[in-house]
Amino acid sequence: MIVAAFVLAAAAAAAATPATVAQSQILAAMADSAAGWNDGDLDRFMRVYSEAPDTSFVVEDAVITGKAAIAARYHPRFTPEGAAKRGRLSFETLRFTMLDPRHALLVARYRLKVDGVADQTGPTTLLFVRERGGWRISADHSS
């Protein structure tokens, strides 16, 4: 029994490619970020973003650069007054592509469920970079 379990575990580990490992890690980071949003924890929500000064977030009429500036844009939704508008966040993966060993592209659909309001949903394209602390968003284009 123990030998069979070991053989199955070894086979599963051998089948895991670097791309599938990266995808699992990135999706786990996105799930943790969404949990931070849903719990009203801005720091946890932002943990998935890179600290690199050129980290960017594309908005309707500009490109916001730097994690602190991106967090400042989200901050109003994390105040007591903004909590009702924040809603519940989830992501649906549409496509995942490894670009090279340090970069990955996630195309997803975000969904915000806000009480009494139609769901807000749209595409998001996220460029991830593998950093010392794990996979982090380097560029975010959400509409």
Indicate the burial class of 71 (C-beta count within 10 angstroms; 0-12, 13-18, 19 or more): middle
What domains does the chain contain, in order, with CATH numbers?
A: 17-142 (3.10.450.50)
Place of tokens 């309707």: 60
pLDDT digits (tens, 9 = 90+) for 10-34: 445 556 788 899 999 999 999 999 9
pLDDT digits (tens, 9 = 90+) for 54-70: 999 998 889 999 999 99
How far is the C-alpha of 115 from the C-alpha of 18, rounded, in Å?
A: 40
Percent of the chain, pLDDT > 90?
A: 76
What pLDDT was estimated at residue 115?
87
Q: Say how many CA atoms lie within 13 Å of 108 toward its Cβ.
A: 21
DSSP-derived 3-state class of residue 13? helix
What pLDDT was estimated at residue 6?
45
What pLDDT was estimated at residue 1?
46
Under a CB-based contact definition with an 8 Å cutoff, are residues 6 and 14 in contact? no
What pLDDT was estimated at residue 143?
81
Give every residue of the chain whose pLDDT is below 70, as ranges. 1-15
Name the DSSP class of 119: P
What pLDDT was estimated at residue 18?
81
